[in-house]
């Protein structure tokens, strides 16, 4: 009789443990499904960087072109820190692949011709939101002053 009680006790304890594990697994699965903006997805943001060169007094446009080797940066969601950066290709293109749904800021650094400082710069920013898993977003040109 005593052995039967121990067996029932362990069976009940085992069943409760399984119920708790199943419950925790379901909670983890459903609460952890929402992923924030960032890498690890199948979406892409791409575009080009276009440069304009002015004379030293910024009054005469000397030339303009799609620029190669320019750094392009991305931030995820509301983060202010740079998450990643790429350099533009020979034709000024850049690509940020493998992104998840969410909000992003794509930016480059441009010379600030409105400032009196010789080395003054300003960011040129595009804000974009990925809404589809395999979405490809092509942004308009990021125009910078060199």
The answer to whether residue 73 is domain-embedded is: yes
- CA 104-107-109 angle, to 5 degrees, is 160
The answer to whether residue 11 is domain-embedded is: no
- CATH no. for residue 97? 2.60.40.10
The answer to whether residue 102 is domain-embedded is: yes
For residues 88 and 67, give the distance between their C-alpha atoms in angstroms, rounded to a whole number.
7
Cα→Cα distances 72→92, 108, 130, Å: 10, 5, 18
* pLDDT digit string, tens, across residues 8-64: 555 555 555 555 544 545 444 444 555 678 778 999 999 999 999 998 888 899 999
pTM assigned to the model: 0.75
The answer to whether residue 22 is domain-embedded is: no
The answer to whether residue 33 is domain-embedded is: no
The answer to whether residue 23 is domain-embedded is: no
The DSSP bridge pattern shows strands 136-138 and 39-54 to be parallel
The answer to whether residue 45 is domain-embedded is: yes
pLDDT at 11: 58
Number of folded domains that form the chain: 1
The answer to whether residue 25 is domain-embedded is: no
Q: Are 36 and 76 in contact (CB under 8 A)?
A: yes
The proportion of the chain whose per-residue pLDDT surpasses 70, expressed as a percent, equals 76
**Residue 130 domain boundaries:** 39-145
Closest CA to 77 of 53, 99, 57: 99
For residues 59 and 113, give the distance between their C-alpha atoms in angstroms, rounded to a whole number.
10
Q: What average pLDDT does the chain have?
A: 84
């Amino acid at each position: 009789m005593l052995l039967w009680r121990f067996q029932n006790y362990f069976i009940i304890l085992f069943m409760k443990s399984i119920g708790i594990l199943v419950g925790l697994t379901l909670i983890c699965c459903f609460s952890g499904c929402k992923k924030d903006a960032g890498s690890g997805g199948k979406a892409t943001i791409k575009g080009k960087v276009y440069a304009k060169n002015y004379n030293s007094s910024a009054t005469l446009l000397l030339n303009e072109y799609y620029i190669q080797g320019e750094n392009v940066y991305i931030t995820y969601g509301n983060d202010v820190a740079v998450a990643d950066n790429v350099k533009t290709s020979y034709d000024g293109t850049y690509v940020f692949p493998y992104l998840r749904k969410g909000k992003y800021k794509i930016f480059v650094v441009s010379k600030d011709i409105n400032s009196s400082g010789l080395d003054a710069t300003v960011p040129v920013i595009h804000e974009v939101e990925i809404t589809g898993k395999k979405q490809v977003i092509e942004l308009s040109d990021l125009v910078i002053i060199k």
